[in-house]
C-alpha cells in the first residue's frame, strides 16, 4: 500500500518495473487526486502521469475511463515502455494513526486487486493490444 497525501493507493500493475517511488512523488500533482487510477509511463527517461476513472463513472469522457488503458498505451506511449497503474483505495484501507499511549496494530494488507477492469485491461501486453471495432 502507498499513501499519497493521506489517500491509500495500491500498485495494480508494474510493467517492467516502471514504478519508482521517489520520481513519482517528484512528478505527482494535486490535480491527479480526483482520478480513480494514476498511470505513469516512461519515455525518453521522463515519467509522465495521467489519470483515469472507473468505467462506472458516467460523467467521465470515454477516453478517460480505465477500460481505454490499452488504447492509451498503444497510441500515446513509446512501444514497450515501462509503466505502472496505481489504484485508489477506500479511505477505510488507510492505516490508522496511532494515538498517544496506544500500541499500534498491524493492518492486513489487501491480497488481491478487486477491480476487474485493470486486470482485464492490463492482462494483454502492450505489444499485443487487441483492436477495438468502434462505430
Domain boundaries, the chain: 2-126
d(CA 47, CA 83): 9
pTM of the predicted model as reported, rounded to 2 decimal places: 0.71
The Cα–Cα gap between 103 and 17 comes to 35
Residue pLDDT tens, the chain, 135 long: 899 999 999 999 999 999 999 999 999 999 999 999 999 999 999 999 999 999 999 999 999 999 999 999 999 999 999 999 999 999 888 777 654 554 444 444 443 444 444 555 555 444 444 444 443
Distance CA 124, CA 120 (A): 8
Q: Determine the topology of domain 2-126 in CATH.
A: Hepatocyte Growth Factor (3.50.4)
φ and ψ at residue 36, rounded to 5 degrees? -80, -25
The counts of H helices and E strands in the chain are 3, 5
Amino acid at each position: 500500500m502507498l499513501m499519497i497525501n493521506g489517500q491509500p493507493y495500491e500498485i495494480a500493475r508494474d510493467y517492467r518495473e516502471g514504478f519508482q517511488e521517489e520520481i513519482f512523488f517528484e512528478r505527482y500533482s494535486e490535480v491527479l487526486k480526483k482520478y480513480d487510477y494514476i498511470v505513469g509511463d516512461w519515455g525518453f527517461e521522463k515519467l509522465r502521469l495521467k489519470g483515469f476513472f472507473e468505467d462506472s463513472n458516467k460523467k467521465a469522457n470515454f477516453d478517460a475511463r480505465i477500460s481505454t488503458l490499452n488504447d492509451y498505451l498503444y497510441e500515446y506511449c513509446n512501444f514497450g515502455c515501462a509503466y505502472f497503474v496505481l489504484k485508489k483505495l477506500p479511505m477505510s484501507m488507510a492505516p490508522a494513526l496511532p494515538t498517544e499511549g496506544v500500541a499500534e496494530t498491524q493492518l492486513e494488507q489487501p491480497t488481491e486487486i478487486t477491480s476487474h477492469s485493470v486486470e482485464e485491461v492490463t492482462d494483454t501486453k502492450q505489444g499485443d493490444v487487441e483492436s477495438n471495432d468502434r462505430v
